[in-house]
Structure 1
Amino acid sequence: MASAHRRGALLVALSTSALSCIASPAYAQSEAASTAPPEAAAAAPQHATVDATEIIVTARRRSETLQSTPVAITAINAAMLENKAAVNIGDLQGAAPGLLITQQNSGAQAANISIRGLTYADIEKSQTPTVGVVVDGVTIGTSTGQLQDAFDIAQIEVLRGPQGTLFGANTIGGVINITRTKPTMEPGVRAEFTYGRWNTWAAKAIANYGDGETWGIKAWYFHDQTDGFYHNVTRDTSDGWSKGDSYGASLLFQPTGSGFDAQLSVENVVQSFNPVVSNLANSTEVFCQYEPANQCNRNTTTDLYTTFGDAAKSTYNAPDATLQMNYDLGGVKLSSITGWRHSKERQTQDFDGSSTDLYYVDRRQHYTQRSQELRAAGNLFTGFDYVVGGYYFHSSYDLIQWTRLFGFDSSIPPTEFDKNPQSVDGKTTSYAFFGDFNWAFADKWRLSFGGRWSHDNKKLTNSFAETGLIGSGDANFSKFTPKIGIDYRPNSDVMLYASWSRGYRSGGFSPRAATADTASTPFQPETVDAYEIGAKLSAFQRKVQINLAGYVSDYKNMQQNLTVPGGPTGNQTITGNVPGGALIKGIEMDGTFRVTPDFTITTSAAYMKSHFRNFVTDGAYGTLIVPFDYSANRLIYAPKFTASINGDYTIPTSFGKVVATAGWRHISPYDEQISQASLTPVLDANGNVTSVIVNGNDPRVRTTTQDLVDTSLTFNFDIGDKEAYLRVFGRNLLNEKTTTHAFTVAGLWSFGMALEPRTYGATIGFKF
C-alpha cells in the first residue's frame, strides 16, 4: 500500500477536476421553410422567388435562403432527423463537413464538439467550449448540457468558422444553432415508443393546444433508458446504464395584428447514469503495478467493451427557462431573448477503471447561468439591412470533490475517506455590443461587415477544506472582433463569396492548478483569424445544389491543458497558452441531388491539414526542468478527411408511403488528447539535456478509421387526418469499435470511453 505521504501528494495533483476533462448539405426539404421560425428582422436579400426546394435559415439573425447566405452552413430539419432515427445531436457526427460530436460521460449531456479542428475537450464549468450550442437563441455556457435530444427539433443549422459577431466570444470553431418546434396553436399530439438493443427504450410525447390564432401551448415529456453496451466482468453485469426524463411546456402568445409575439418555455432535465471508463493503463504507468495483469496493456478497440471498475452513479437535475419576445414596428423589429439555466450534479466515478480500488471520486457541483440579449433589425435604406444589439451573461459555479486515492477498500465512501476535499468556486460576468450589416452597393454585389466588442470578468478560487487556500484570481478581458465579406451573384443559381473574420475565446483561471502562483495567474484569450472563399451553385431548376468552401484558420495564443512543473508531486495540470498557436487549412463540399421528387441524395466531404507552431512549454525530464517541444503533435479532434453520403427514397403506397434511408459516414483517425508518445532529448556539446522533443501524442488516444453505416425503413400510414408510422433502424452496422474519448494521466494511468457498437431497433408512433 502506498504511504500516507505519497497518497496525499497524489491527491493534491489529481483532485478536483484533475480528471474531469477528462475530460451544406441541403438536408432540409420543403417543410424547413415552415418549421424554421422567422427570427428575423430584416428582409432577406433580394433573390429569386423562394420555391418549395429552398431552405430558410436564421443563422445570421435574419430569415434568408440557405443558398443566398454567404456563410459555410449545413441545415438539417426534422424530417431528416426522423428518417435517420437520430437520438441526439451526436448522431450528426460526420454528416456535416468537418463536424465531430462525441459524448463525454464525465458530465451529464456533455459533448466534445469540434468544427474545422477547433475544440476544447473539457467539461469543467470554469472552461468554455470553442463551439457554441444555441437552443432557441440561448447559448449553453458549458459542455455539460450540449448533447440535446433530437425529438422536438424543427431545424439544426451548423455554422462553420468563427461566429463571434452574432453569437459571442466562445464560438471560434462555429455554432450549432438549434430551433425547437413552436406551439402549433391547434389541438394535436405526437407520440412514439422505441425499443432497441441493450434493452434500450424511449417513450416521447408532445401535445399542442390553442385557439388557432392568438395563443397556443405545447407540453412534452421524454423518457429514455438503456442497460449500456459495456460488460463488467468483476460484477458480471451490464455497464454504462443511463436513464433520463425531460419535461416542460411552451406558451406562445401573438395577438392578431399587433406585430408582437412572445414565447415562454420552461423545462427540466433529470438524468442518472453510470459514468463508466475502460482501463487503458500499460506497464509503463504506476497504477499497473497494483492491478491484475489481465486488466493492463489492453487494446483500444474490442477490449474497450469489457470493464472492471466499481459501480458508480451520476445524477443530474437541470431546469431552464427561455422568454423570447419580438415586436415589429414596421421599419424596425425589436427582439429580446432572456435565458436562465441551472444544474445540480452529483457524480461518483471509478477513474482507474480496474478492480483495484485506486482512484475513486465523489464530485458535487452547481452551475447557474443567466443571459439577456436585445436586438434591433431592419432596413436603413434600400439595399442596406442591419442587426444591432447588446448581450449580457452571468454564471456562477461551485464544485467540491472527495477523493479515495489508494484506498484499497471500496466500502468506504470518499466522503469518509477524504478529510481534506478540494473545492472550486467561479464566476463569469460578460457583456457585449454588436452590429452586423449587409450593403448591396452595386448590381449583383453585396458587402457584409460587422463586429462585436466583448468584455469578460473571470473569478476563480481553489482551496482545500483543511489545508486551506491554494490560490484565487480575478481578471478582466476585452476584445473587438470584426468581420468583413463580399459576395457576387451573377444569376440566381450562382453565388461566390469571400470573407475574413476574427473569433475570440476569453481567458480565465486553471481549476487544476496546484500552487498559489499557477492558481492566481490567468491564461490569456485566444483568437482565430479565419479566411474563407466559397461558392454556392444550383443547376437543373435547383435539383442539384453544390456548396464549396476553402479556408485558412490562423489560431493564435491557443489554450491547452499543459503538464508543467510544480505542486507536491513535481507536476501539475494547468490551462496555458501556446504562443505559436496553430495553422489549419481545409476545403469542404456538400451537395444535394434531387434525382426524382421521391429520391434525394445528400453528400459532404472535408479535407483538413493542421499543425502546431512553436508549441513549447516547460516540463520535467528526470530532475531537470527543460523546454518540451510539442510542435510535432497532432491537434486533437482534427481528422484529416471526413465524408458522408445519404440517400432518402420515398415510395408512395395505397396506405401512405414508405421512406427508405441509408447513409455512410467516413472519419479518418484523429487524436483525443495532447500527450506524449515518446521523448527525444536534445543535447549540447557537453552531453547535457537542453530541451526535449515530444514525438507525437500517445497512440492510445488515437481513434481507428471509422466507416459508420446507418439505415432505416419507415412505414407511414395515413388514417384520415391522422398519421401512424413504424420505423426499423440500424446504426453502426459495420460494428466499428474505437474510443470516443481517451486520456493519459501523467505516467500514472490511462482510460477511455467507447463508441456505441452495432445497434438496431424499432419505433412506433403517431401524429394527429
Structure 2
Amino acid sequence: MKTQATRRLIVVALTTTAIGFSVPAFAAEADEQQAAQTAEATDSGDTGAIIVTARRRSETLQSTPVAITAVNTAMLESKAAVNIGDLQGAAPGLLITQQNSGAQAANISIRGLTYADIEKSQTPTVGVVVDGVTIGTNTGQLQDAFDVAQIEVLRGPQGTLFGANTIGGVINITRSKPTMEPGAKAEFSYGRWNTMSLKAIANYGDGDTWGVKAFYFHNETDGFYRNVTRNTNAGWSVGNTVGGSLLFKPAGSGFDAQLTVEHVSQKFDPVVSNLTNSTEVFCGFIPERECNRNNTTDLYTTFGDYAESTYNAPDATLEMNYDLGGVKLTSITGWRHSKEAQTQDFDGSSTDLYYVDRRQHYTQWSQELRAAGNLFDGFDYVVGGYFFSSKYDLTQWSRVFGFDSSTPPTKFDTAAQHVEGKTKSYAFFGDFNWAFAPGFRLSFGGRFSHDNKKLSNGFADGVLLDPDNLDLSKIALVGKGDASFNKFTPKVGIDWRPTPDLMVYASWSRGYRSGGFSPRAATAATASTPFQPETVDAYEVGVKLAAFDRKLELNVAGFVSDYKDMQQNLTVPGGPTGNQTITGNVPGGALIKGIEVDGTVRVTENFKLTGSIAVMDSHFRNFVTCGAYAGGAVATNDCGTGLVPFDYSKNRLIYAPDFTASLSAEYTLPTSFGDVSANVGWRHISPYDEQLSAASLTPTLNGDGEATRITVEGNDPRVRTTTQDLVDAALTFNFDFDNTKAYVRVFGRNLLNEKTTTHAFTVAGLWSFGMALEPRTYGATLGVKF
C-alpha cells in the first residue's frame, strides 16, 4: 500500500490537467447551391468544375494555387459516416482520430503538424472553421458529417485568410443554407453494436426573400469494447444536436443575413484500454492478466470502473453579406459555449489507482469583418480584421491509490486543481491576386496577429471543494501569468497557366501559433513564465492538370515545412517532487518534407475512380530537453541539480505517417426506378507514433559514472499504430417518385477488421493506456428527400 506522501507526490506529478495529453473540397450536398456556384464560374470557361471558397473567393478547384483535394460528399454518406473523422486517409497528409478524453475532441494532423491535447490553455494546430467561425479548442472539432454543403481542407499555413490557429492547415466546413422552399430530408441508420442514428432537416420559405431550416441529429451506440470486470459493453455514447437557421435576402438589395443557432449534447463512456507493462509501477498493483497486453486485439477487452462524460454546447453564428457591386462586405459573428463534466478511470485496470473527475466551462466570441472585390481588371483582393476572445475554468479532483471506487474523487481529493485562462486576440489580414502578365498570376498577402494570454493555476489547500458551490478562497495559488505576443506572417506565390487545363504554382508562407502559459506548472516562477510562439516556414510547388475534357484531373504537390521553436512538454527543476512538466520551446524544431498526388479518372459517365498518395519524411533537429535519470546525473549542468539533458532527436514526430494512399471506385447503374450505386474504397496508412515517449535510453557517462547526457532511442512501441488497410463498401438503391426521392443503403466499414490504437499514452513510468480503432462494422440506412 502506498503512503500518503507517495500518493501526494504522484498527484502533483500527474494532476496537471488530465495528465498532459500531450480534401479536399467536398462537393455540395445541396444540388441547388452547387449549381449556383458552378454558374458563377461559367464566364471563365470552367463549367462543371467543383467550386471552392476557402480562399474567400468562388474559384474552381483546378485554378486555386494551393493544395486542395476534391472528393464528393457521397463518399461520406456511402459509409454512413457519423463525423468528419471518416476523412482520415482519404486525402493526402490528413489524419483525424478521436480523443475520448474530451467531448467531440479530435487529434487532427495535416502534413505532420498536430496538437494532440484536449487542454484549452493552448490553441489547435489545425483550424476547424464551421460556417466561418473558428473552433478555438480541440474539444468540439469532431463535427457531424450530416447536413454539410462543402468541406474544404487546405494543407499548409493559411494565416492570410483565417484565424491565427492555422499553422498546419484548415478544415473549412460549410453547412447547407435554407433552400427557401418547402422540403425535407430524413434518414435512419442501424448497425452493429446496436448503433442507431436519426437525422432530419426541414426547410420552408417564400422562395425568394426568406427561408428557415430546422435540423435534428441523434446518434447512439452500445460501444465496441467489452468490460469483463463489469460484464457489459463499454464505449457507449448518446448524442443529440438540435438547431435552426434563418436566411433573409431582400430582393434586389444585395444584402443577405443568416442566423444559425444550435445545441449539442453528448453523454458517453470515456473508456480506456490498459497498456501497462511490467516495467511500470502500476503493474505491481493490478491482476497479472491485465499487464503486458498487446496494442491490437487486446484493446477491445477492458477492466476499468464505470465512468461518464456529459457535454452541453450551445452556439450561434450570424453571417451578413452586402454586395455593393464593386466590393462585397462580410461580417461573421460567432459565439460558442460548453459545459463539461467527466469522470474517467485513466489506469484502465480493475484496481482503483488513478480516477479523475473534471469539471470545466468554456466560452468564446469571435468577430470577422472583411471586404472582397477587384481593385482593377486582373487584380482582386480580400482584406479584413478578426477578433477572438475566450475564457475557461477547469477543476480536477483525482483519486490516486484510493483502492475504493465507492468514494467519489470530490470526496477524496483535498488538493483538487483549479485552472483559469483567458485569451484575447485580434488580427488584420490581406490576400491579393495580380494577373500581371498573360497566363501569370502573383499571389501575396500577410497577417498581423496580436494575442494576449492569461492563466492562473492553484490547488485546494487541504480541503474538499464542493463542485456545485466552488469556493475559490480555499484554493492556494501556485502562480499566474499575463503575456502578449505579436507576429507578422507573410505569404507569396506565383502560378502559371500555359493552357486552360494546366497550372504550375509555387509558394512560400509562414504559419504562427501563439505562446502562452503552462497549466501544469508547479512553481510561481514557471507558472508566470510564458512559452513563446512557434512558427513554420512552408515551401510548396505544385501542378494541377485537367485533361481529356476533364475526364482526368491530376494534382501533384511537393512541400518542405521548416518547424521552429516547436512547443513541447519539457521537464525542468522545481516543485514538490523536484521536477515539473511545463510547456517550452525546442529551438531546433523539425523538418518535414513530402510529395502528395491525388486525382480522379472518369472512366465512363457512370464509372469514376479517385485516388491519392502521400510520401512524407520528418525528423527533429536538436530536440534536447531536461529529465530525471534513475541512474544518477552530474551534480551541476544546464538542467539543474538531479536532472540531465535528454536528446529526443531520434524520435519520430507524432501523427506523421511516412506513407498514405487511397483508392475508391464508384459505379452507378441507371434503372427504371432510379439508379443503383456501388462504392468501394481502400485507405492505406503506414504506422505512426501517437506520443513523444521513450523506447529505451542510452546514457553518456563521465569518468565518475555519472550521466552527462541521455539519448532517447525512439518512441515507446506501444504508442505506435500498426499498418492500416481500411476497406469500406456500400450499395445504394435510389428511388425516384415524382417530387420525392428515397434511398436504401447497406454499408460496411473496416471490412478487413484492422485493430490498432487511435490514441495511446505512457505516463512517466507509472502506467500506459490507449483507445481503439472501430473494428469491422456494418449496417443499413433508409432515407427520403422531398
C-alpha deviation, 1:670, in angstroms: 0.2
Instruction: Say whether 1:261 aligns with 2:256.
Output: yes
Give distance in 2, aligned partners of 1:90 and 1:482: 31
Structure 2 partner of 1:105: 100
2:372 aligns to what? 377
Confirm or deny: 8 A CA contact 1:300 1:739 kept in the other structure: yes
User: Per-residue displacement from partner, 1:58-86 (whole Å, max 9, x unpaired)?
Assistant: 01000000000000012344333222322
Q: 2:29 and 2:738 mapped to 1: Cα distance? A: 23
Alignment of 1:173-572 (within 5 A): 173-466=168-461, 468-572=476-580
Residue 166 of structure 1: SS of its match in structure 2? coil
Displacement over 6 Å in runs of 4+: 29-33, 36-40
1:36 shift after superposition: 8.6
Partner Cα separation in structure 2 for residue 122 and residue 80 of structure 1: 29
**Secondary structure of 1:528's aligned partner:** strand
1:151 maps to 2:175: no
Specify the alignment match of 2:468 in structure 1. Answer: none
Q: Distance in 2 between matches of 1:187 and 1:234?
A: 52
Q: Is the 8 A contact 1:345 1:365 kept in 2?
A: yes
Structure 1 residue 48 displacement after superposition = 3.9
Which deviations, in whole Å up to 9, do the C-alpha atoms of 1:472-508 show, x marking residues without a partner? 1111001000000000000111000000000000001
TM-superposed CA distance for 1:38, in Å, is: 6.4
Q: Describe the SS at the equivalent of 2:75.
A: helix
Whether the 8 Å contact between 2:363 and 2:391 is mirrored in structure 1 is yes
1:651-701 superposed Cα distances (whole Å, 9 cap, x missing partner): 101110111000000000000000011000012345432111000001100
Tell me the TM-score normalised to structure 2 length.
0.95
- The answer to whether the 8 Å contact 2:79/2:749 transfers is no
Instruction: State the alpha-carbon separation in 2 of the partners of residues 76 and 315 from structure 1.
Output: 34
Alignment partner of 1:168 out of 158, 163, 171: 163
Aligned partners of 1:254 and 1:33: how far apart in 2?
16
TM-superposition CA deviations, 1:304-326 (whole Å, max 9, x none): 00000000000000000000000
Separation in 2, partners of 1:670, 1:596: 37
| In 2, Cα distance between equivalents of 1:79 and 1:194 | 16
The 3-state SS of whatever aligns with 1:287 is helix
CA contact under 8 A between 1:115 and 1:160: conserved in structure 2?
yes
Q: Distance in 2 between matches of 1:702 and 1:340?
A: 37
What is the deviation of 1:711?
A: 0.4
Q: Which letter does structure 1 place at the counterpart of 2:511? A: G
Tell me the equivalent position of 2:636: none
- Name the SS of the counterpart of 2:5 in structure 1: helix
Structure 1 pair 410/642, CA: closer, same or farther in 2 (3 Å)?
A: same
Aligned in 2, Cα 1:216/1:47: closer, same or farther, shift over 3 Å?
Answer: closer
TM-score with structure 1 setting the length:
0.97
The answer to whether 1:22 aligns with 2:15 is no
Q: Which moved more, 1:697-706 or 1:686-695?
A: 686-695
The answer for the alignment partner of 2:746 in structure 1 is 728
State the shift of 1:29 in Å.
8.1
Stretch deviating more after TM superposition (281-290 or 476-485) = 281-290
Partner of 1:745: 763
* Partner residue, 2:466: none
Q: Is the 8 A contact 2:38 2:47 kept in 1?
A: no
Unaligned 5+ runs, structure 2 = 463-475, 634-642
Equivalent residue number for residue 695 of structure 2: 677
Q: Is the aligned partner of 1:697 residue 2:705?
A: no
Q: Is the 8 A contact 1:27 1:602 kept in 2?
A: no
| Aligned-residue identity in percent | 77
Judge conservation of contact 1:449–1:484 (CA < 8 Å) in 2. Answer: yes
Paired with 1:324 and 1:417, the residues of 2 have a C-alpha distance of 48
Report deviation, 1:469. Answer: 1.1
| Structure 1 pair 356–37 and aligned structure 2 pair: CA distance change class (3 A) | farther
Q: Which residue of 2 aligns with 1:5?
A: 5
- SS of the residue corresponding to residue 62 of structure 2 reads helix
C-alpha displacement of 1:565: 3.7
* Kept after mapping to 2: 8 A contact 1:391/1:432: yes
Partners in 2 of 1:282 and 1:216 — Cα distance?
59
The aligned counterpart of 2:648 is: 630
Q: Does residue 62 in structure 1 map to residue 52 in structure 2?
A: no
- Contact 1:24–1:547, Cα closer than 8 Å, also in 2: no
Distance 1:147 1:26, change over 3 A: closer
**Matching residue of 2:610:** 602
| CA distance 1:289–1:152, shift in 2 (3 Å) | same
> SS of the counterpart of 2:743?
strand
Alpha-carbon deviation of 1:146? 0.4
Q: Residue by residue, what CA displacement relative to the aligned partner does 1:324-374 show, whole Å, maximum 9, x if unpaired?
A: 000000111000000000000000000000000000010000000000000
Partner of 1:51: 47
- Pair 1:644-2:662 in alignment: yes
Q: What displacement does 1:13 show?
A: 1.5
Matches within 5 A, 1:78-117: 78-117=73-112
Q: Matches of 1:34 and 1:260 in 2, distance apart?
A: 18
Q: Mind listing any 5+ residue stretches in structure 1 that lack a counterpart? A: none
Q: Is 1:710 matched with 2:728?
A: yes
- Matches of 1:38 and 1:252, distance apart in 2: 18
The 3 A distance-change label for structure 1 pair 10 and 123 is: same
CA distance in 1, matches of 2:274, 2:241: 32
Q: Is this contact kept in 2: 1:18–1:573, CA < 8 A?
A: no
Does the 8 Å contact 1:322/1:340 carry over to 2?
Answer: yes
Give the deviation of 1:572 after TM superposition.
Answer: 2.5
Letter matched to residue 385 of structure 1: D
Amino acid at match of 1:357: D
- Corresponding position of 2:625: 617
Given that 2:29 and 2:148 are in contact with CA atoms closer than 8 Å, whether structure 1 keeps it comes out as: no
TM-superposed CA distance for 1:420, in Å, is: 2.2
**Residue number in structure 2 paired with 1:665:** 683
Q: Aligned equivalents of 1:687 and 1:309: distance in 2? A: 43
> Contact conserved, 2:27 with 2:149, CA < 8 A, in 1?
no
Q: Per-residue displacement from partner, 1:162-188 (whole Å, max 9, x unpaired)?
A: 111111221111000001000000001
Does 2:130 correspond to 1:131?
no
State the alpha-carbon separation in 1 of the partners of residues 32 and 491 from structure 2. Answer: 28
How far residue 27 of structure 1 moved from its aligned partner, in angstroms, is: 5.8
Q: CA deviation at 1:517?
A: 2.0
Alignment partners' CA distance in 2, 1:231 and 1:437? 55
Aligned-partner residue type, residue 556 of structure 1? K
Compare 623-632 and 756-765 and name the one that shifted more: 623-632
Matches of 2:741 and 2:586 in 1, distance apart?
Answer: 56
Q: Distance in 2 between matches of 1:310 and 1:166?
A: 46
Tell me by how many angstroms 1:569 deviates.
2.7
Q: How well do the aligned residues superpose, as a CA RMSD in angstroms?
A: 1.6
Aligned residues: 763
* 3-state SS of 2:526 partner: helix
